[in-house]
Structure formats: C-alpha cells, structure tokens
Amino acid sequence: MPFVSPSNAILVGGSPLVDELTEMSRATISMYGETPVEDIIRYTRKSLIVPIIHKDFRIHWRDVIASRRKGTPLDTANAESAALQVAQLEDELILTGEYAGSPRLGIEGLATATGRNTVASVGAWATSPNAINSVKAAMEELVADNFYGPYDLILQPSAFLDSHTFIGTTAVMQIDKITGWISPKYIGPYSDTADIMRFRTKNKAGTQALDHQFQPSDNEYGVFGSEEYHWKELHSKFLMLYHGQAAPYGELRIKVQGEANPKAHLTEELLEFGPGGAVAPDVYLKRVAITSLSLKPNIWSLKQTTFSKLEAQLRRLSCFTFPLCFCPQTDTYKSRFTRMIIRKQA
C-alpha cells in the first residue's frame, strides 16, 4: 500500500470572551443637572464559540518528491476543492449560523441572530420599484435604531438579477439606485437648483482650520474628469505639477476635444505652441542652460507698437541668435531693424 501524506484546509478557531453591553436610558432636561437615580451600562461576559472549519484531502508522497526534485507542478485540484468547501461553509455560518445536522455549538448568523431587525420585502424584486423600496425600508429600520451608513447589502443571486430591471420607462436600473445608497455612485447636492457641497477642512470641534487631503488610494492613479466630461472652472491658490515616477511627467496641456496634439503645452523645461490636430507643436520657449533660453520660431511677426520695445531689449543682450526671418508690419520698421542687425553684428 503506498504511503500518502494527509493535509487539511483549515480555518482556525477558539473560544474568545466577548462582552454584551446594555444601553443607557434617554437623557433628561432639567434646571438642576441631577437625576435621582444614576444610570450605568451593564456588562455581560460570555464565551463565544469559534470552531474549526476543515476539509481533509491528500497529496501522494510520490507527487511531492517529483515536485521537489524535478520541479513537476503539483496537482492542486484537491486543495482548491477543499478550500472552496471551507469557504462555502464559512459563508453559511456567517449568514445563517449552524446548518442542519451540524453540532449544536450555539452559533448564530446575521440572518438568525437574536434581536435582529427584520423587514418584509415589498414584493417581487423583478417588478420595479420593489427592490428600491425594500432596501429603503431596511435602511429606515437601521436608522431608527441609530445604526447609520455606510451599509453592506448581501443578496441571493436571484434577487441580484431581479434588481437589474429598469425603473419605469427610464434608463436607470434598480441596482444603480441601490448601489448609489450603499456605495455612492453619485456624489453631490440633491437639489433642483445650483447648490454647494463643501469638503470639511476643520477639526472635530470646528474651531480650527486644517489641511485635510483628498487623495487617491494609489499614487498617480485616478482621473479627475475626462475628455468627454469637463469641469467648468477650477479655482485654486496653488497649482502644482510634480515630476512624477515615470514619463509622461507633470505637464499642462490646452487642446481641443478629439485632437491628438495640444495647442499649448507646458512641461518642466519648455513652453510650446502649435495648431493642434494632427500637427505637433512647432514653436517653443525652452531653458537650455543657466540664464539661457532657446527660441524656436521660423518667422516673427511684429506689430508696430511692440517693435521699438523689442529693439530696445535686444540692444541689452550680450548674445542673440536671430531667426530666419522677421516680418514687421511696415517697411519703416523693416529698415530700422536691418540697421540694428548690422550694429549688433559689428
């Protein structure tokens, strides 16, 4: 008879102690601030049974040796199936407590616990808006007992599928409305007129302003708006674009929706412009070294009011490389600029 090594898929348990607490009675309004009888919370300590959920399986010793010596992959089908059985039984205990035929260990589930709140379903969830009204009634029951959201909603597969029916003649399904309550899909004022939603920037007492942060869960992930849905305006004291962990680094683009290239582009080293569309930016102002800038225009078109100012500035430069062609708007300024070039070259 070949030797086989027994293995287990196990969820380890024990017998921890838990305390059940009573609630105090309602507060009192008086002119003296004293009550005849003081109220206290009463503790009841109980032992909570947490059993071991397990499913045995075996892996043949020859398979183990072959895997160690030659790298042959182990057949994990039995282990995966055992883990699935353990997970299913764990879910049953959490939801319904002890199953039929199990040892009587006094385990209660969420749906069978003593003192639980229950609300009858409004009707078949496949008929709108029964699913919405049923969830709403359950939330109202929790709020009445001072249990406030956010909530988790556990459904049978059939109820989950039934909730995917449209609300009346709208294009909104019942499940969309429900998930908006449980895990909000929409955030904003619920109003027929323009309103304001404020992000709290104070301490708990409301006496001191704090720099609370609104951060993504993962660095450099998440999108604020999209190419199809834009925010109308952005008001801020500071706008910081960071170098980032990988290219493309922090940059600012001004572009037309649907076009591949921006009309203006600001990066950490240059400011460039272009016509947009299929044409990449073709002129730029770029820092090339300490106190040095690089310009890339093929043609400069200068207005009469600005040409004399440009001429005065150019006289102060120790070194200046001219572009291919300057195009002043009048012949007078063209001749003046030609003379200035001669003086600079000399």
* pLDDT for position 337: 44
Token pair of 71 as six digits: 């790298």
* pLDDT for position 108: 82
Looking at the chain, the whole-number percentage of residues with pLDDT higher than 70 is 76
Does the pLDDT at position 213 exceed 50? yes
* pLDDT for position 244: 63
Report the largest interatomic distance among the alpha carbons of the chain, rounded to a whole angstrom.
Answer: 110
Label residue 335 by pLDDT band (50, 70, 90).
very low
- Chain-centroid distance of CA 184 in Å reads 12
When mean pLDDT is compared over 22-26, 49-53, 142-146, the highest value belongs to 142-146
Under 8 Å between Cβ of 117 and 145: yes
CB neighbours of residue 172 within 10 Å: 12
Higher pLDDT, 56 or 246: 56
Residue 253 sits at φ, ψ, to 5 deg, of -125, 145
Helix axes 304-315, 331-345, angle to 10 degrees: 10
Higher pLDDT, 339 or 239: 239
Please give the Cα distance from 114 to 107 (Å, whole number).
11
* pLDDT for position 39: 83
Does the pLDDT at position 316 exceed 90? no
Lowest mean per-residue pLDDT among 65-74, 99-108, 320-329, 332-341? 332-341
Where are the chain's structural domains? Answer: 4-96, 130-182, 239-296, 298-346
Is this structure's pTM higher than 0.75? Answer: no
Secondary structure (DSSP) of 105-164 = -----TTT-TT-------S-TTSTTHHHHHHHHHHHHHHHTT--S-------HHHHHHT-
- In the sheet that 292-295 helps form, which strands lie side by side, from edge to edge? 252-254, 264-266, 270-273, 283-289, 292-295
Half-sphere exposure of 6 (CA within 13 A, CB side): 5
Q: pLDDT averaged over the chain?
A: 77
